[in-house]
Structure 1
Amino acid sequence: MMMDMSGQDLNVMYPSLEEVDSWDLDTAMEYLDSKDIDYSFCESLEEILMLIKKYIRELHSNQPGATNEEMIVDSQSVMKELLDKNTQMKNELVVIYKSLMMFLESEKIQGSAVEEVLSQVYLNYKNTLVSRSNELVNEKCPIVVAGETSAGKSSFLNLLLGPDAELLPHSLLCATSTICRLHNSQEKKFIYYENGQQASSPETLDGAATCEDLKARLAPFISSREGSKGKHSYVDIFWPIPMIQDPVIIVDTPGIGESKEMTDKLLWYLPNAVAFIYIISSDNAGGIQEDRLLHILRELKRLDSEGKFVFDPKCAIFVCNKWDLVVKSGEEEKVWKDTLAKLQKGWPGVEESQIFKMSTTNALRLRTKLGITKDFQELLHGLKKLVPLTLEARIKQHYKLMNRFISKLESKVASHISHARATQEERKKLRDSVLGRVNKLRIHSDEVRKKLHLEAEERCKELAENLFRYINEEDVKNRLFTWDVTDAPTLGSFDLEVLRYRAELKIMDRFQAILNEWEESNNNMKALSDSLTRRFCEECSVLYEECEKINLMMEKPGYSYRSIADVENPEAQEKGHIFGRKEAITLIITAPVWIPLAIVASVIFMPIGLGMMIRDSNRVTRERKDYEANKAMKMQEWAKEFWGRNLTKEKIDVFIKDVYLKEYEEKIKIVCEEHIPRQIAEDENTVIAIANELRSSTEIFKQYCPIQKEIQALKGQLLLFDLKYFASDLVLSQNVTEIGRISSGSFADVLEVEWKKTKNEVVKAALKRPRNKPRDHDIFEQLTEVQCLRACQCQHIVKLFGVLYDSRVTNGPVQLLLELCEETLESYIFGHPDRICGMHKDVSGKMAAFRIYVAMMTGICDGLAYLHYQGYLHRDLKMSNVLIQNGIPKICDVGLAKMVDLTTGTFAGTITHMAPEVMMGKLYTFSADVYSLGIILWETWYGREAYKSDEFKDTSPIYLLQYIKDGQRHTFKKFKPWPRLESLICKCWHQDENLRPKVSAIKNEILEIGAEVNVVT
């Protein structure tokens, strides 16, 4: 029992917080009077109840309530934790940047064909990498605050910064017309910049200076009218602000809607923001200006398409300020729906969780008495969630930049190694073939550009004609021309020009409503946007497939094998990008921001000038009286003038094309005039370098193989960085308990473990643990296996549950937590004679075994096809690398798996299952796995290991290599398979890789054989 100092029971003296919530005003006031607590500052029952709960909370727990000072400390600690992690990530990426740049400056790269290609295709790539690295180290992380004019933006900032940092004025007509950048500093000063250049000496204040002193000194710099400021003028303010921690700064931008120039000032900073807080004046029904929000969003999309680092629009926060006035008006639901609708139009994709109701006035008034208000606490929570997401996104952009560059470098080196053994004649043939295809691609690209442009023009013209017909219907025109006296704006003290401007805004509102109805009736514009985007993707898909074929010709001599038909599940095709594995075009194919036609019209047909720009105009008294006497007629006259000025057939046509055709053509230009030509130049340079190579294969290997290893070591560092910071499947070691050893190999042990997946769920799993400490190249190999397993989520490939990695341990192992299976295919077949087709004399036993055979082999085909579809070769397919779980075969041990376009003739796999071309060091493709599958088909039929019979007297490695190179295979003697199956097996292990069937064809053949003998499962 808890007692106060007088010995009274506090639980009796003080009611529960739940009880307080049920009190009415009289009960609450009576309680406060009894405690002699001042509540004169409270303006509502809600505030009085907050005061009571604060009082109870403090006495009940002997702790102070949620004070503003605590909020600042908490925000400071949270921000510090976020920034410490961000700094650690930056430092590690900088190390990789430096390693990459040192590698590019090394003798191995200098003067090589690879450097020549990189220099021609990526102009100034070294300077770009240096610039990106410096940017990563030195970049600031601005939290940008913007909003509608007079929405209370500066007041909100003062609230956010705390009582000791109310640095910004909030009582002027336009509080800040200059960007203000706020830095945490013990030294108090500010510096003014004009057009990016320091325009004044630092204005230093002494340590005892107050916020009011600063405001007085700042006023001439931040509150002058816009005409006296340069386009990019700003003030750096340095002040003790505990909430802000370097490199985060807070940027206060001019009000949106004050002028285009002020909006441009916002766009100067927003792309680099880590958070964007947009303040809305909720008491103003027209407070949200969707057109200006869309302008911001479109600009971000444009910068994004250019490959620049851009703030993620999903990380914006919208603050509906002055919500207390909405509550008083009794129109909460109506205003909220209207606000939500406008934001969804102006910022497509915005979610309710990004929008917060707020009263800055109340929060400022109550913070010293009641601490943080509930709505402000919710907003702070949203901000704490927002900042880490954006910080991480910025790091990811740097990571992706390096990953793309290193992957391109890896691909170019692989091309040179791949063609090292080619004759001069073969290289010339490759050059001619590639240059021929490149020329066709160049012509095709131009044809696509013209075709897409023509189709888009025709669609826009057709839509413009439909719109023109609609707005010329009599009932539509009558709606625009018919006005009532009550609809007309009041003249008041305005001059006639201001009145005309206000009237045309009303006409525009009515025209927007007409456009909305037309659009909503059949989704005209959205259908156009979707249709154009779909056609764009279809045509570009073909172009990029041609690019990929050309790349594969250079990377894989004689390459012609891959087929999407090998995919186990057709849905898998839809999950991948339309352009396959090439990542470069994903930004280009994104659909443009679809903008409702009515909002676009508000920009295009907006009355010229704003009221503030024409206040000096004077009109004679007669004109004022004429308007007052004939409001409806005057509105009709102005509506007809608006119609004649804006809604001609020609202007509607231009209107549709300017808005919807311009962005579409920009995308076409990026693909057909930038991406494809760059790819063509790269291919031409690479293939010419390969054709002009006169050195022997030994010399080429000597130069490029060490380069390849260093590139893979760099790639391994990047993959490890990704694992440490971005992986969603990291598993904590304390959640894994070892049970026993399953098997041991040359490089890794496999353990049976229990994994505590959730609080209430424990799963048995297998843990693959490397036996030795990893070297740089080992990290690359291990994480390549992780990538492969992540990409290949298929029921016939062993599932990856997660990865165990402790970043605190130097050179710690990368351990794979995998699906636990019952046994291998080897033990499943060899240990059970009844499952071996080639051991049965009787028909029924043979048929029963063949059912199992069909299920196992078709399952392996499905898994292998999926692996190939994702671009991987297994390279060590054998019976012991196929596991069985509940009768389902699952391919495992993809540690040797490799992307097909990076294989360079590496000797890999088990000799008995190794294709001849692999043994001879030739280049190989998916058909090498088909060869291994053929061996498995034979072993599973006969229940014997390959090359361990009387047919092959000496099975030492040197003889095995010779047998296979010479084309010697097992014969089919006793209990032979059906002729069709025997033929299939022979095709799979055919000496000529080009004559081996595709995996999909193998599966279909087995199923058809099963149907013939009536054993299909």
Structure 2
Amino acid sequence: MDEVVYDYLQEAFAFIYVINSSNAGGIQTDRLGRLMAVVNSKGQEQFDAKHQKGAAARAFSPQAAIFVCNKWDQVPQQEKEAVQKEQLRVLKRYWPGCTEDQVFQLSTLTAAKALHHDIMMDDFRLLLEGIEQLIPATLQNKLQVHYCWLEQFLSRILYKARALEANVASGKIKERQLLEREKRLKYAKSTGSTIIQDMKKKVEEKIKQGTKELGKLLGDPKTKEKVTSWSLADVPLGANYYQLDRMVQHEVLVRLEHLIMDWEEETGFFKATKSELEDMFHQALVKLENAIDSAETNVADDKTEDEVSNDNSAMHDVRARDVRLFIAQKATGVMSSLWVPLVFLKVLLQGPALRFVEIISMRENFKIAGKTTDQKDPKHQLAYLQRTSEKVLERFKDNSQLRKYVTTQMKQAQHVIESCERTVNEIIESNRQMVLQLRQDDRTSDEVKRALGQFKAAISHIHEDLCMFGAEHMRPFDYDAAQISIDEHPPIVSSYFSNIYKGKLNTKKVNAKVTVKSYVGTSEWSVRYMISEEKCLRGLQKSHIISFMGTSRAKHNGIPMLILEDMRQPIRKRFTSCKAHLPNPVVQRYLIDIAEGLKYLHKRGMVHLILSLDTVVEAADRKIKLTSACTPRCLKEPEDTDDLPKEYMYLSPKVLQGAVYDQAADMYSLGLMMWEMWNHKSISLPSTYTSITLDLLKTGVVKQNLPSPSMPAPAENWGHLMHSCLDSSIKIESYTYWLRAPKKQGPLETEV
């Protein structure tokens, strides 16, 4: 019957399990456990079969279930709280991922009688609300599989089209380019193999550790007593030894299963192991992504940085990768371009820390040869039960059997590794075949553009629409809009791209002051910027970077908002609200904190984007923190280029001319901030200029018209560091060195 139910589950999008609460809590652990065993084993078989065929695999989500504890009116009032806690404990044990919101206690008989009189009971209303939320959430999970496949398909088409366009050359130049690409692909393959081997070693270490820990547990005399103890009441009347064998094998293995579950609840070994493997896999996937992206970027692009910055299509790689992970992020907490491994990783995350009834499925290994005698004396049968139980226990305690059991628990982790290995090889081979094709392609640049022009434009348009759809409708949110209240007047930080407001977060577990970052506009650029910033902030843990708490949907435009830690004010107010100048040590501390934050970002290949005294804040804990983090990118040119917002004055002329906003652009903005901190004034254009225009800023007018300071510098080397930043001739590592050691002798070293 369990297999019949599971076969139906494959077509179902939700699962409702009704429990008879009047019967000792109502949860029959054997029945629910057997169903979970079938779901685990059958689901894995189907998952493996689909993956081998290249089809999209789908796991039944633990959240796609509701548990209805019926006949609640028959539970004594004084016992309801205890029964409710026990029901939730058992459900969490046998249905991993179950939460309190999925469990409903009610009496259907009472609810039906009330409805007959046009009255809806509160408990029945809560159940209907739970079902109402269950249906769209589970259908969304199905839609995500198809969305991710289509997004990946379109992004790979665009990638290949760009590769063809970027590799139109002839003779020795083209061959040199292709040889360099082959070299990068070999390096990526070697790096990927090393990462995969490290993952395998880690899992093997955990298998050995788990085998050792279980060996200690089963070797304890108390364990033996619990597993092999019987009484005359346990002896079935009229049973022969064949029947006793079957009963012993089943009962001992069930006892072992429950014993290991109790041990897991007490020690949390498998839970901690699962968490540790998840963290390790997250880091490994990021490394694999970087290795593959490095190779693929080289294959698809042979332009200089300035040429890339002028080509909007160069950002499709970033958008494709970000949006794909935008969908998977809730389940994985990690960003990676390896879509197939993420499916396996999602199963690993959703799966139980300890897989249920795996021991029962191994019972064929514990068959004991029964006696031929038909001795039916209860005392002899009791002794036989005890002896046979000890034999079953001893066989399970065998190191090979324990290892097999622990390996079964690690099965999903091994599938992640196998999928990563398979996917990396497929991507490398795909790029190798592309290099061979590019070597044979002798078309001219005009011929390639004519062949790809309209096709690439059409695919790009479809892909952009798909990305917008994914950002607005497909992505999961950490908090409901109703849980966030925003004080929109005035914003703490206001810019052309985003605003940061004071707010409050109210959930069952959290009631705290926060700040909310809302993005201006609903353009594709705004979505990509938000995606990149969310991706970066989720993975950052640094005292000088604002803490990221989650996301919620903006009510006015549907674009996700970022929920950040509470802030006091931008540090510009510290320089403008005081009648007297801030003491030099305070100014130096501010600058050191800003530099440490930038150093942390730059070391990870990120930038701040629009860095000024307005976007650096004093948090609630009074620490100085940066409020942005994203990957280097081209900025969107404003619609009105004749009257720009003031924040454009902090952008370097190169960025305004179309170059990528990179780490040097952050250093340029830092140089302007140093001038403001030195003079306690805001940068401004001479009075001869009536408005801030894009053409004017491109000429470098801000840097050229900075007045000479009228007071001593806050620290030695301050002026040298400021000019080095404005000239983009120093990196953040050297900057922080000289900032912290201003009294060192010798000339200030800069880098071109």
Query: If the length of structure 2 is used for normalisation, what is the TM-score?
Result: 0.65
| Secondary structure of 2:17 counterpart | strand
Instruction: Answer yes or no: is 1:296 the counterpart of 2:36.
Output: no
Q: Which residue of 2 aligns with 1:460?
A: 207
Among 129, 136, 139, the residue aligned to 1:388: 136
Q: Which residue of 1 aligns with 2:7?
A: 268
Q: Which residue of 2 aligns with 1:671?
A: 420
Offset from partner CA, 1:742-766 (integer Å, 9 cap, x none): 99x9x99x999999999xx999999
Return the alpha-carbon distance in structure 1 between the equivalents of residues 110 and 442 of structure 2: 76
Amino acid aligned to 1:680: I
Q: Which residue of 1 aligns with 2:750?
A: none
Kindly state the Cα deviation for residue 784 of structure 1 after the two structures are TM-superposed.
Answer: 4.1
| Secondary structure of 2:98 counterpart | coil
Offset from partner CA, 1:503-544 (integer Å, 9 cap, x none): 544333444455456656755555555555555555555434
| Secondary structure of 1:384 counterpart | helix
Q: Which residue of 2 aligns with 1:900?
A: 632
| Secondary structure of 1:290 counterpart | helix
Return the alpha-carbon distance in structure 1 between the equivalents of residues 513 and 190 of structure 2: 60
Among 316, 319, 326, the residue aligned to 2:65: 316
Contact kept in structure 1, 2:656 and 2:698, CA below 8 Å: yes
Kindly state the Cα deviation for residue 669 of structure 1 after the two structures are TM-superposed.
Answer: 0.4
Instruction: Answer yes or no: is 1:348 the counterpart of 2:82.
Output: no
Change (3 A) 1:479 1:604: same
Offset from partner CA, 1:541-595 (integer Å, 9 cap, x none): 5434433444555669789xxxxxxxxxxxxxx9997865657454444546345
Pick which of 532-541 and 908-917 moved more. Answer: 908-917
Kindly state the Cα deviation for residue 314 of structure 1 after the two structures are TM-superposed.
Answer: 1.6
Q: Which residue of 2 aligns with 1:630?
A: 380
Q: CA RMSD in A?
A: 6.5
Return the alpha-carbon distance in structure 2 between the equivalents of residues 832 and 370 of structure 1: 63
Kindly state the Cα deviation for residue 604 of structure 1 after the two structures are TM-superposed.
Answer: 1.8
> 1:220-231 to 2 correspondence within 5 Å?
none
Kindly state the Cα deviation for residue 277 of structure 1 after the two structures are TM-superposed.
Answer: 0.8
Amino acid aligned to 1:997: K
Q: Which residue of 2 aligns with 1:780?
A: 524
> 1:473-872 to 2 correspondence within 5 Å?
477=224, 480-491=227-238, 500-512=245-257, 515=260, 525-526=270-271, 529=274, 536-537=281-282, 539-551=284-296, 582=337, 584=339, 586-589=342-345, 591=348, 593-594=351-352, 596=354, 599-605=357-363, 623=374, 626-628=376-378, 630-640=380-390, 642-643=392-393, 648-657=398-407, 659-674=408-423, 676-684=424-432, 707=456, 711=460, 714-715=463-464, 718-719=467-468, 722-723=471-472, 779-784=523-528, 786-787=530-531, 803=554, 805=556, 848=582, 850=584, 854=588, 857=591
Kindly state the Cα deviation for residue 439 of structure 1 after the two structures are TM-superposed.
Answer: 1.6
Return the alpha-carbon distance in structure 2 between the equivalents of residues 537 and 864 of structure 1: 24
Among 169, 183, 187, the residue aligned to 1:436: 183
Change (3 A) 1:533 1:800: closer
Contact kept in structure 1, 2:19 and 2:67, CA below 8 Å: yes
User: Unaligned 5+ residue runs, structure 2?
Assistant: 306-328, 507-511, 538-544, 746-752
Amino acid aligned to 2:525: E
Q: Which residue of 1 aligns with 2:723?
A: 986
Offset from partner CA, 1:826-863 (integer Å, 9 cap, x none): x997x89988xxxxxxxxx7xx4756754665576577
| Secondary structure of 2:35 counterpart | helix
Kindly state the Cα deviation for residue 313 of structure 1 after the two structures are TM-superposed.
Answer: 1.1
Contact kept in structure 2, 1:529 and 1:660, CA below 8 Å: no
Offset from partner CA, 1:410-430 (integer Å, 9 cap, x none): 66677788x689999787666
Offset from partner CA, 1:983-1011 (integer Å, 9 cap, x none): 323332346xxx5313x654564455499
Return the alpha-carbon distance in structure 2 between the equivalents of residues 800 and 474 of structure 1: 51
Offset from partner CA, 1:917-962 (integer Å, 9 cap, x none): 5477666633233234334534664658589699x9xx99989867
Kindly state the Cα deviation for residue 293 of structure 1 after the two structures are TM-superposed.
Answer: 1.2
Contact kept in structure 2, 1:739 and 1:751, CA below 8 Å: no
Return the alpha-carbon distance in structure 2 between the equivalents of residues 701 and 670 of structure 1: 38
| Secondary structure of 1:900 counterpart | coil
Contact kept in structure 1, 2:569 and 2:618, CA below 8 Å: yes
Kindly state the Cα deviation for residue 316 of structure 1 after the two structures are TM-superposed.
Answer: 0.9
Contact kept in structure 1, 2:516 and 2:563, CA below 8 Å: yes
| Secondary structure of 2:68 counterpart | strand
| Secondary structure of 1:599 counterpart | coil
Contact kept in structure 2, 1:930 and 1:988, CA below 8 Å: yes
Q: Which residue of 1 aligns with 2:667?
A: 930
Kindly state the Cα deviation for residue 275 of structure 1 after the two structures are TM-superposed.
Answer: 2.1
Contact kept in structure 1, 2:33 and 2:94, CA below 8 Å: yes
Which structure carries more relative contact order (alpha carbon 8 Å, separation 6+)?
Answer: 2
Contact kept in structure 1, 2:515 and 2:567, CA below 8 Å: yes
Change (3 A) 1:425 1:303: farther
Larger radius of gyration: 1
Contact kept in structure 1, 2:366 and 2:395, CA below 8 Å: no
Q: Which residue of 2 aligns with 1:841?
A: none
Identity of aligned residues (%): 17
Change (3 A) 1:996 1:708: farther
Contact kept in structure 1, 2:111 and 2:120, CA below 8 Å: yes
| Secondary structure of 1:277 counterpart | strand
Contact kept in structure 2, 1:505 and 1:606, CA below 8 Å: no
Pick which of 479-488 and 715-724 moved more. Answer: 715-724
> 1:120-159 to 2 correspondence within 5 Å?
none
Return the alpha-carbon distance in structure 1 between the equivalents of residues 227 and 731 of structure 2: 70
Return the alpha-carbon distance in structure 2 between the equivalents of residues 478 and 905 of structure 1: 76
Q: Which residue of 2 aligns with 1:144?
A: none
Kindly state the Cα deviation for residue 912 of structure 1 after the two structures are TM-superposed.
Answer: 7.1
Return the alpha-carbon distance in structure 2 between the equivalents of residues 511 and 815 of structure 1: 49
Amino acid aligned to 1:383: I
Contact kept in structure 2, 1:411 and 1:902, CA below 8 Å: no
Instruction: Answer yes or no: is 1:279 the counterpart of 2:11.
Output: no
Amino acid aligned to 2:632: V
Kindly state the Cα deviation for residue 696 of structure 1 after the two structures are TM-superposed.
Answer: 5.8
Kindly state the Cα deviation for residue 682 of structure 1 after the two structures are TM-superposed.
Answer: 4.8
Contact kept in structure 1, 2:570 and 2:613, CA below 8 Å: no
Change (3 A) 1:545 1:915: same
Change (3 A) 1:280 1:415: same
| Secondary structure of 1:319 counterpart | strand
Kindly state the Cα deviation for residue 703 of structure 1 after the two structures are TM-superposed.
Answer: 6.6
Amino acid aligned to 2:292: C
Change (3 A) 1:849 1:946: farther
Return the alpha-carbon distance in structure 1 between the equivalents of residues 37 and 88 of structure 2: 15
Return the alpha-carbon distance in structure 1 between the equivalents of residues 378 and 271 of structure 2: 42
> 1:22-33 to 2 correspondence within 5 Å?
none
Contact kept in structure 2, 1:803 and 1:814, CA below 8 Å: yes
Return the alpha-carbon distance in structure 2 between the equivalents of residues 815 and 864 of structure 1: 23
Kindly state the Cα deviation for residue 872 of structure 1 after the two structures are TM-superposed.
Answer: 6.5
Return the alpha-carbon distance in structure 1 between the equivalents of residues 447 and 61 of structure 2: 50
> 1:332-371 to 2 correspondence within 5 Å?
339-357=87-105
Kindly state the Cα deviation for residue 436 of structure 1 after the two structures are TM-superposed.
Answer: 2.5
